Every structure is written in structure tokens, then in C-alpha cells.
Amino acid sequence: MKNLAKEYRLPETTTQEALEESWSTVINFGNKVLLAGYYYNGRNANSYFAAVYEHTNDDLSIEGEIKLTAVSEEFFEDNGHALACAMNH
């Protein structure tokens, strides 16, 4: 996961607010924050990935600290499929 996080430029610890400044598809899902990101994987190739963050404390606001817990190893055809993967994680 660390190599993928570094390759996609995902912070290990951050806030939802900070993620929303850098990524277009970020949503709350209970005590988790799900991200669908785009990483160019070649022309006409699936290029979306999923990432899951979890809150580190009881502050579930967009300013609460979150920590990266998972990054998909596969790519998806769009951000909806990437989010579906994140929701199932």
C-alpha cells in the first residue's frame, strides 16, 4: 500500500477538507472517507483507483484527522466503480 500511496501522491494522514482540495471524488461513508482518484495508466486504459481513509478520533467533521488504510491495486473504468470497491472494503 505504501508504494501505491506514494505513487498516487496520497497523504498517509490528512483531513477530508485537504483531500477535497486535491481530489474531485471524496465522500463520507460512516467513520470512513472514500476517495476515487485518477492516475493515467495509458491511453484507453482503466485509470481510476480507490482509497479508503478512517477517522483517527471522534471528530467526524471534515476537519477531523483521517488515516489512509487501503488503496486498490486494480484500476477501474470510472470513479463510480472505484467508489463501489472502496465501499466494499
Write the CB contacts of 89 (distance below 8 Å, at least 6 apart in sequence). 50, 52, 70
User: Does 2 score more than 80 pLDDT?
Assistant: no
Range of the domain at 54: 2-88
- With bands split at pLDDT 50, 70 and 90, how would you rate the model's confidence at 84? very high
User: Does 1 score more than 70 pLDDT?
Assistant: no
Tell me how many domains the chain contains: 1
User: Does 81 score more than 70 pLDDT?
Assistant: yes
User: Does 89 score more than 90 pLDDT?
Assistant: no
Give pLDDT, residue 4: 92
Give pLDDT, residue 18: 96
pTM over 0.85: yes
Task: Tell me how far apart the alpha carbons of residues 25 and 80 are, in angstroms, rounded to a whole number.
Answer: 9
